Structure 1
Amino acid sequence: MISVVGFGSLLSEVSARETVPALENYRLVRVPGYRRVFDKVGIVFISRHGESPDSLELASCSTEPDPACEIVAAQFECSEEDFLQLYEREHRYRWVEVETRHYLNGEVTVGRMCTGYADLDYRLNKCVTEAEYHRRVGQYYQGPLWRKDILPNPRYLGFCLQAAASQGADVLDNFLDSSFTADGRSLRDYLAARPELMTESPVSYSYR
């Protein structure tokens, strides 16, 4: 079995079981030394959901090292076969092994988590040929995948907020305060400046 750490929509156990139906031992964990950042172009927003490749609201959630931060995430185990399917779905990320601490009892384990990549590294190490890159990315989108000028996709952001809220107010607060836009704003501050995005999710946000 392979242990997986999910930090976005997989914070919802329902969503996680839709993605990996045979998962085992779903639980909340803390991942010290990382923060979330919305800086990766979500190709699926273009290929399946009709977003314009010229839009700035294309960002999906990734992670990056930050020694001053800690994210609350979900962890579960799955078979090698299920992990390969998940790996394919999250092909544009880099997978790393991280130390986790059980949300309730502090038990320390390790798991595999998606984190940020670089465009050149992705092309060289995960797309063997230009034809493969075109199949996965180029037929839908021509620019860089990792950007500092993009904003969270509103529909996807709503899913992530609902997932965090489903785990309680403390987990939602962690999501708001340990998540950042590509240009460095906390998600709480970003939503305070964009109150119209609250209509994308039934979650009631609190600002402090």
Structure 2
Amino acid sequence: MNTIFLPLSPSLSPLLASRACFQRSTTLSVSHSSSTPFLSLSTPPPSLSSAMSSATLQSHSLTNQQPLTELNDESDFESILSPDGYISICGFGSLLSERSARSTFPDLLNFRTAKLNDFRRVFAHVAPVFFERGIAKPETMEISSLSVEPFEGETLVVTVFEIKKSEIPAFIKREVEFRFLAIRPETLDGESFDYPAVLCARYSDEEFLNIRCKGSKEMYFQQYGRWNIDKIWRDDVLPCRVYLRHCVLAANNLGDTAYNNFLDHTYLADRKTTIREHLATTGSGIMEEEPPESLKYRYGG
């Protein structure tokens, strides 16, 4: 477990303070399929330690240092389990939809809305699943999925729910392109949660290749190269249209607060254009487009 010191708001309490200096070097390997090379989830080597606190994770013009705890292996995830053996997951995109969450985690408990301070949502990385499902549009660069990154002053309406300890390996496998952070959400009334939740945050191409793929271009190709993707995290992409519509519908289903928060606190990769602005200009018509028949339930909000 690494502690990453980022400049955050003084109002954000330290996360997992009792574990802040506890670091691990254990490696967890997970396979995407029997024919796919193993991807590693492990503590980064010293040569990458500077990247962990570089622009990849830096907030904007902040002053006070507060720790964010990165979860590097399965034992790190287990260290934030509740006493009854469950772990909290924070949803900010498709997992704003309870239907989507339950399609992935059928036995989840206590699906509810929450608030996450000092993070923003950004459509800034390429998702292979959109190519696999035939909904990516590389000709217009509408191929991006959603992640979050630290940014002082932003507040996100998110969802939180609990899954069993036994579901942690599958979660890691499915979200392997992200950085896993332990964060402490709040209720919409501002009360801190009793236990931290796992958040899938922005990663970097360098770390994905050197840590997850152990420097192997073959492993990278299995995940991205076969779709002619040579860069994952980027600022020249637009949201996948079907996925964006799904996220907006999911936020709307949570009520006006969540809906307006998603429109006004979610950004394109330029980190200037909000989703509300995008849907009124370049992305006009997205909300009227139906997903392919086979994906209508999966991407129906």
The one-letter code of the counterpart of 2:156 is I
In the TM superposition, residue 147 of structure 1 has moved relative to its aligned partner by 0.9
In the TM superposition, residue 200 of structure 1 has moved relative to its aligned partner by 3.0
Which residue is equivalent to 2:224?
137
Following the alignment from structure 2 to structure 1, what is the Cα–Cα distance between the partners of residues 286 and 138? 20
Q: Structure 1 residues 165, 52: closer, same or farther in 2, change over 3 A?
A: closer
Matched, 1:199 2:288: yes
In the TM superposition, residue 15 of structure 1 has moved relative to its aligned partner by 1.3
Which residue is equivalent to 1:12?
97
Q: Secondary structure at the match of 2:184?
A: strand
Q: CA contact under 8 A between 2:224 and 2:230: conserved in structure 1?
A: no
Q: Structure 1 residues 93, 152: closer, same or farther in 2, change over 3 A?
A: same
In the TM superposition, residue 177 of structure 1 has moved relative to its aligned partner by 0.9
What does 1:61-80 correspond to in 2, within 5 Å? 61-80=146-165
Q: CA contact under 8 A between 2:184 and 2:192: conserved in structure 1?
A: no
Q: Secondary structure at the match of 1:149?
A: coil
What does 1:51-200 correspond to in 2, within 5 Å? 51=136, 53-104=138-189, 106-109=191-194, 110-128=196-214, 129-184=216-271, 185-193=273-281, 194-200=283-289
In the TM superposition, residue 52 of structure 1 has moved relative to its aligned partner by 5.0
Q: Secondary structure at the match of 1:198?
A: helix
In the TM superposition, residue 35 of structure 1 has moved relative to its aligned partner by 0.7
In the TM superposition, residue 69 of structure 1 has moved relative to its aligned partner by 0.1
Following the alignment from structure 2 to structure 1, what is the Cα–Cα distance between the partners of residues 246 and 284? 16
Higher alpha-carbon Rg:
2
Q: Which moved more, 1:172-181 or 1:13-22?
A: 13-22
Following the alignment from structure 1 to structure 2, what is the Cα–Cα distance between the partners of residues 130 and 27? 40
The one-letter code of the counterpart of 1:131 is E
Q: Secondary structure at the match of 1:134?
A: helix
Gaps of 5+ in 2: 1-85, 291-301
Following the alignment from structure 1 to structure 2, what is the Cα–Cα distance between the partners of residues 126 and 12? 28
Q: Which moved more, 1:64-73 or 1:106-115?
A: 106-115
Q: CA contact under 8 A between 1:37 and 1:63: conserved in structure 2?
A: yes
The CA RMSD measured in Å over matched residues stands at 1.8
Which deviations, in whole Å up to 9, do the C-alpha atoms of 1:152-200 show, x marking residues without a partner? 0100001101110110111100001110000121111111113222213
In the TM superposition, residue 50 of structure 1 has moved relative to its aligned partner by 5.3
Q: Structure 1 residues 52, 196: closer, same or farther in 2, change over 3 A?
A: closer
In the TM superposition, residue 55 of structure 1 has moved relative to its aligned partner by 4.1
Gaps of 5+ in 1: 202-208
Following the alignment from structure 2 to structure 1, what is the Cα–Cα distance between the partners of residues 153 and 136? 34
Alignment counterpart, residue 3 of structure 1, candidates 72, 81, 88: 88
Q: CA contact under 8 A between 1:53 and 1:140: conserved in structure 2?
A: no
Q: CA contact under 8 A between 1:27 and 1:102: conserved in structure 2?
A: no
Q: Structure 1 residues 83, 57: closer, same or farther in 2, change over 3 A?
A: same
By percentage of residues, which structure has more helix?
1
Which deviations, in whole Å up to 9, do the C-alpha atoms of 1:122-151 show, x marking residues without a partner? 111111222222212212233200110100
Q: How many residues align?
A: 202
Q: Which moved more, 1:48-57 or 1:31-40?
A: 48-57
In the TM superposition, residue 18 of structure 1 has moved relative to its aligned partner by 0.9
Q: Secondary structure at the match of 2:213?
A: coil
